[in-house]
C-alpha cells in the first residue's frame, strides 16, 4: 500500500522539502531490497511548532513562530542546528533535518537528523531580546531536546552565544549543568577547539580531495565564495592559507571581485569595521549574484538554499562546485552542471565538517576530557577523507553524480539500521 502525501504542506509548493524528495527519488532505484523501507526517508519522525512570546525592550509583547523537527533517529539521537531567519518555513526546517540525516550517515557519525528555526530577523532585535527569544524557544522545545535525544547546534543567524544560552536554560530547567545538550557552544562551558572553523575546514578538505581526483593544483586556483559568514569566512581563510586565490566574495551587503586575489584576513577586518564586504577598497564591486558566475576553479556557495538554479546554472564558470550551504543547488541545476562537465561536491558531505566536530564536542563533554585543536583537525580530516573516498568509489562504480553516490551510501546505512531494528510494535 502506498502512503498518502503529507497533508500539512502545500501540494503545489513543498519548497526545499520538494528538493529533498526529488533527491530521494533519484537514489531509490539504487537501493535494492532496502527500497522497501524508503518511505521512512520521505516522512519526518516528529514535528513541533511552537509559539514564542517575549517581552520587547519597549515593554510590548511580540510573538514568534518556531520549529523543531526530528527527521530520523534510527542511527542515534537527532542532531542539527537552529536557524534564526525571517524566511524560515516548516518546509525548510523539514528539508534541513532530512539533509542532516543523510549527512550524518554519509560521514558515519552516530546521529539521526534534526533541525530547528525561528522566523525572526535577529538584526532587528537587541541582545536582550535575542536572549529572551532563545531562552523561551529552548524551554518550548525542551520536551524534544537532550544529550541522548536531540542535540542542537548553531546555524544561520545563531552562534556560540545562543548555544550558551540554550545550554544554560536547559540546565536550569532540569536542575544540573548539561554541556552535552548543545554543541557549538563557547569553549569555556564545554565547547570544542576547532568547532568554529570546522564546516569551512571540511569544505576545503572536500575541495582538496576533488582536486586530487581531477588532477588539479590547489596552489593558485581561483576560488569564489558566496556568503562570508562562519562557513564562507573559514573556507576563504583556509583556501588562502593553502595558496589558493580567493577572487570573489559576497554577503548580504553585496559582492566584491579582484582577479589578483582578495586577502580574507584583511577582508574580515573590513567586515568587522563596516558590517559587510560592500565598500572593500581592495576589490571592485559586482552584483551580488555574479559571485556565482565569475571565472574560477572552485565555487563555494555558502549562503542559503536554491542559489544555483535552472536560470543561472548555464552561466556558472567553475570546474568544481563545493557546497558549503545546505541545498544551494536545485535538481534542475544539478542536471545542467553535470551536462556541462562541472563537478558538484554535494552539501551532504562537503559541509559535514561542522557536525563531525560537533560529534567530537559531544564525546568530549560526556568524558570531561578535551582534545587539542591539532587532534581535532587531524581527526576531522581523516573522517572527511574516508567519507569522500567511499562516495567517490560509488560515483565511479555506479556512474552516478557525487550527490546520488552520497545518497546511496547514506540511505543504505540509514535503511539498513531500519531493517535491523524492525517495526514497533
Per-residue pLDDT of 214-223, as tens digits, reads 999 999 999 9
CB 120 within 8 A of CB 64: yes
Give ∠ CA 352-5-8 in degrees, rounded to 5.
80
Average pLDDT over residues 98-125: 97
Average per-residue pLDDT for the chain: 95
What percent of the chain is predicted at pLDDT more than 70? 98
Give the CA-trace dihedral at 271, 134, 105, 389, to 10 degrees: 10
Q: Is the pLDDT of residue 424 over 80?
A: yes
Distance CA 93, CA 83 (A): 9
Active site residue: 115, 282, 306, 319, which one? 115
CATH 3.40.50.10860 assigned to 44-178: yes
CATH architecture of 196-350: 3-Layer(aba) Sandwich (3.40)
Confidence class for position 8, pLDDT limits 50, 70, 90: confident
User: CB-based contacts of 105: which residues, under 8 Å, 6+ apart?
Assistant: 75, 409, 410, 411, 413, 414
Find out whether 79 is annotated in a ligand binding site: yes
User: CB-based contacts of 29: which residues, under 8 Å, 6+ apart?
Assistant: 35
Q: What are the domain boundaries of the chain? A: 44-178, 196-350
Q: Is the pLDDT of residue 187 over 90?
A: yes
Confidence class for position 6, pLDDT limits 50, 70, 90: confident
Q: Is the pLDDT of residue 3 over 70?
A: no
Confidence class for position 305, pLDDT limits 50, 70, 90: confident
Find out whether 173 is annotated in a ligand binding site: no
Average pLDDT over residues 3-18: 76
β-bridge mates for residue 83, sequence order: 117
Identify the pLDDT of residue 1: 45
Average pLDDT over residues 170-183: 97
Average pLDDT over residues 303-330: 94
Nearest to 80 by CA among 93, 65, 91: 93
Active site residue 213: no
Residue 42 in grid coordinates: 520521505
Average pLDDT over residues 357-382: 96
What percent of the chain is predicted at pLDDT more than 90? 94
Identify the pLDDT of residue 2: 59
Find out whether 330 is annotated in a ligand binding site: no
Identify the pLDDT of residue 5: 73
Q: What are 13-67's pLDDT values in tens digits?
A: 678 999 899 999 999 999 999 999 999 999 999 999 999 999 999 999 999 999 9
- Cell 540554550 identifies what position? 166
DSSP labels, 164-184: HHHHHHHHHHHTS--GGG-SS
Distance CA 52, CA 134 (A): 9
How many Cβ atoms sit within 10 Å of the Cβ of residue 285? Answer: 14
Identify the pLDDT of residue 11: 64
Residue 297 in grid coordinates: 576553479
Query: Sign of the CA dihedral 314, 316, 320, 321?
Result: negative
How many Cβ atoms sit within 10 Å of the Cβ of residue 124? Answer: 9
Global pTM value: 0.92
Amino acid at each position: 500500500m502506498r502512503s498518502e502525501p503529507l497533508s500539512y504542506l502545500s501540494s503545489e509548493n513543498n519548497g526545499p522539502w520538494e528538493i529533498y524528495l526529488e533527491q530521494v527519488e533519484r537514489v531509490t532505484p539504487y537501493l535494492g531490497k532496502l527500497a522497501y523501507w524508503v518511505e521512512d526517508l520521505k516522512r519526518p519522525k516528529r514535528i513541533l511548532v511552537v509559539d514564542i512570546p517575549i517581552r520587547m525592550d519597549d515593554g510590548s509583547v511580540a510573538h514568534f513562530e518556531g520549529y523543531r523537527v526530528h527527521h530520523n533517529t534510527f542511527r542515534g539521537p537527532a542532531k542539527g542546528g537552529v536557524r534564526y531567519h525571517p524566511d524560515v518555513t516548516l518546509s525548510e526546517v523539514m528539508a534541513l533535518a532530512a539533509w542532516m540525516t543523510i549527512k550524518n550517515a554519509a560521514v558515519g557519525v552516530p546521529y539521526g537528523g534534526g533541525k530547528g528555526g525561528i522566523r525572526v530577523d535577529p538584526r532587528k532585535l537587541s541582545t536582550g531580546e535575542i536572549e529572551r527569544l532563545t531562552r523561551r524557544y529552548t524551554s518550548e522545545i525542551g520536551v524534544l531536546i537532550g544529550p541522548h535525544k536531540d542535540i542542537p547546534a548553531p546555524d544561520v543567524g545563531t552562534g556560540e552565544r545562543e548555544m550558551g544560552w540554550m545550554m544554560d536554560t536547559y540546565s536550569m530547567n532540569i536542575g544540573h549543568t548539561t554541556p552535552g545538550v548543545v554543541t557549538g557552544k563557547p569553549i569555556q562551558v564545554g565547547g570544542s577547539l576547532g568547532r568554529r572553523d570546522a564546516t569551512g575546514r571540511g569544505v576545503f578538505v572536500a575541495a582538496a580531495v576533488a582536486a586530487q581526483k581531477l588532477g588539479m593544483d590547489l596552489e593558485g586556483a581561483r576560488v569564489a565564495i558566496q556568503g562570508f559568514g562562519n562557513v564562507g569566512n573559514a573556507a576563504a581563510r583556509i583556501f588562502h592559507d593553502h595558496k589558493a586565490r580567493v577572487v570573489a566574495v559576497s554577503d548580504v551587503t553585496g559582492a566584491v571581485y579582484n582577479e589578483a586575489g582578495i586577502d580574507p584576513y584583511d577582508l574580515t577586518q573590513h567586515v568587522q569595521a563596516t558590517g559587510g564586504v560592500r565598500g572593500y577598497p581592495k576589490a571592485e564591486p559586482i552584483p551580488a549574484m555574479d559571485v556565482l558566475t565569475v571565472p574560477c576553479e572552485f565555487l563555494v556557495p555558502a549562503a542559503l538554499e536554491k542559489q544555483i538554479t535552472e536560470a543561472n546554472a548555464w552561466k556558472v564558470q567553475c570546474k568544481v562546485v563545493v557546497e558549503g550551504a545546505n541545498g544551494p543547488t536545485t535538481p534542475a541545476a544539478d542536471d545542467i552542471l553535470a551536462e556541462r562537465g562541472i563537478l558538484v561536491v554535494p552539501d551532504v558531505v562537503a559541509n559535514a565538517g561542522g557536525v563531525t566536530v560537533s560529534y567530537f564536542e559531544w564525546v568530549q563533554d560526556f568524558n570531561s576530557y578535551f582534545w587539542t585543536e591539532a587532534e581535532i583537525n587531524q581527526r576531522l580530516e581523516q573522517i572527511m577523507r574516508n567519507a569522500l573516498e567511499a562516495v567517490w568509489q560509488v560515483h565511479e562504480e555506479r556512474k552516478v553524480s557525487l550527490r546520488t553516490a552520497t545518497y546511496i551510501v547514506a540511505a543504505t546505512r540509514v535503511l539498513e539500521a531500519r531493517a535491523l531494528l524492525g517495526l514497533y510494535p
